[in-house]
Structure 1
Amino acid sequence: MAKPNPVEFMQQVRQEANKVTWPTRKEVGISSLMVVIFMIVSAIFFFVADSVIRWGVQALLSLGS
């Protein structure tokens, strides 16, 4: 398979770029909102999990003293 010259390569890149379906402004907004909501839910989950683990470790350590 022969390598295309740079001009042919750029033409092929343009052809492929024209096939891309870009998201609409609304789709980008909805996706961004979903990411923010998921980040908040994840932060709350890990805060609660960390608190429970911290409480358990403190309880175990206090048994030994």
Structure 2
Amino acid sequence: MEFTRQVRSEVSKVTWPTRRETMITTIMVFIMVALASIFFFVADQIMSWGVQLLLSVSL
């Protein structure tokens, strides 16, 4: 019972984000994921091109 009271006390101290803050944060996460995926795609393509170039020169 004491544990339950302590948990309720701590949960009441939490500052929960508003709906607007949650939406903005979610949108920002999606934008960052899209930018990271584009970056890694481009980096992968450049590395692939470089490896193919090295392999074609050595043959």
Asked if TM exceeds 0.5, the reply is yes
Deviations 1:2-42 (A, max 9, x none): xxxxx111111101110000000000000000000000000
Please list every run of at least 4 consecutive aligned residues from structure 1 whose deviation after the TM superposition is greater than 6 angstroms. Answer: none
Q: 1:12 aligns with which of 6, 14, 27?
A: 6
Asked if 1:23 is matched to 2:17, the reply is yes
Structure 2 residues not aligned, in runs of 5+: none
Question: How far did residue 64 of structure 1 move?
Answer: 1.2
The question of 1:64 aligning with 2:30 is answered no
The higher radius of gyration belongs to 1
Q: Residue 35 of structure 2 aligns to a residue in which SS? A: helix
Separation in structure 1 between the aligned mates of residue 34 and residue 17 of structure 2, nearest angstrom: 24
2:31 counterpart of 1:37:
yes
What is the root-mean-square deviation of aligned Cα atoms in Å? 0.5
Aligned length: 59
**Identical columns (%):** 54
